[in-house]
Amino acid sequence: MERARPASYLHTGLDRYEVFDFQEDGLEELKSFVESKKRPFSFHVPFFRPSFFPYIGVSTFFLNEDPDKRALSFKLIDNTMHYAKEWKADFVVTHLTWKDDSEKREIVMDLASDTKSRFCDLADEYELPINVEFGGYSGHFHAPEQFVDFVKDHPLLGICIDIGHTSLISGIRNRDFFKDIEIMAPHTKTIHVWNTRGMEHYKEHNHVPVHPSQKAKDGWIDIKKTLEIILAHNRNCDIVFEYNHTYYDNIPDEVKEGMEWVKEIAERK
């Protein structure tokens, strides 16, 4: 198959960065930048796109019954964990599921149990936390309670709440978004922040930078309320702005305004 082009995103967070899906030939520049900033950083699987993984970066096959595809996902997270340890990243974020799950519930549950066990082993081996990003656009593993059960028994496992995707998934699953957030909040260690006005808006605009002008009455996610719920349970959550661009130091003023707004919300908790 034709190899998908890496996204090469360096996401800015609150006093931190998160690296996702870089091209291998861009790693030297990336490392120089991260080291010069002397800020903590994390890796989102894949840290970079190795030649053995031709799919787009969000692809995950942990709940796919094709053994070859599933093996690719485990090879990819092991590769990312290896470099995270070498570069001294402080944790790794990974999707567990992304539209390529088995259609058979019993198989999905068995694969999830095996994946949980293997994630525990990886976290122990590398002595690095793994934060599992909430997902569930398809398949049988999509409930907040399932993700809580996945992470709750190991201190190095946690949940990453992606606010935009959680809202969209709650919508297509006919669930209450804020109830979903409340269930996962006690086990949440990372927050991905962006905004959307629904699935059609997301398809057109992807990850929209948050801004205080975005009002819930106009269809936007209530970012302030969402953050307050999560941070009430864990005020030390790492916050990453997951936008469609790698800004490095050239962040547009309007985007900076949204980042400062989020910082003020976080500091009030």
135: closest CA among 102, 173, 106, 103? 173
Span 110-134, pLDDT tens digits: 999 999 999 999 999 999 999 999 9
How many Å apart are CA 49 and CA 190, to the nearest integer? Answer: 22
Which of 38-42, 97-101, 132-136, 196-200 has the least mean pLDDT? 97-101
- pLDDT greater than 90 at residue 3: no
Average pLDDT, integer, range 40-60: 95
**Per-residue pLDDT at 31:** 93
Average pLDDT value for the chain = 96
The C-alpha atoms of residue 188 and residue 226 are separated, in whole angstroms, by 13
Give percent of the chain above pLDDT 70.
Answer: 99
Q: Give yes or no for residue 142 having a pLDDT over 90.
A: yes
Tell me the domain boundaries of the chain. 9-268
Local confidence band at 15 (pLDDT 50, 70, 90 cut-offs): very high
Among 3.40.1120.10, 3.20.20.150, 3.30.70.1400, 3.50.50.60, what is the CATH number of 9-268?
3.20.20.150
Average pLDDT over residues 44-60: 94
* Mean pLDDT calculated for residue range 77-103: 94
State the Cα–Cα distance between residues 20 and 180, nearest whole angstrom. 26
Instruction: Categorize the per-residue pLDDT at 269 as very low, low, confident or very high, splitting at 50, 70 and 90.
Output: low
Q: What is the pTM of this model?
A: 0.96
Question: Above 70 in pLDDT, residue 12?
Answer: yes
Q: Alpha helix (H) ranges present in 196-239? A: 199-205, 223-233
**Res 4: pLDDT:** 86
Please state which of the ranges 1-5, 213-217, 231-235 shows the lowest mean pLDDT. 1-5
Report the run of H or E that residue 190 belongs to, with start and end. strand 188-193
pLDDT above 90: residue 174: yes
Query: In the structure, what pLDDT confidence band is assigned to residue 98 with cuts at 50, 70 and 90?
Result: confident
Q: Is the pLDDT of residue 249 over 90?
A: no
CA 134 to chain centre: 7
**What pLDDT is recorded for position 159?**
98
138 contact partners, CB below 8 Å, separation of at least 6: 97, 99, 100, 101
Residue 268: the pLDDT is 87
Query: Given a cut of 90, is residue 99 above it in pLDDT?
Result: no
Q: Which two tokens stand for residue 84?
A: 């995270």
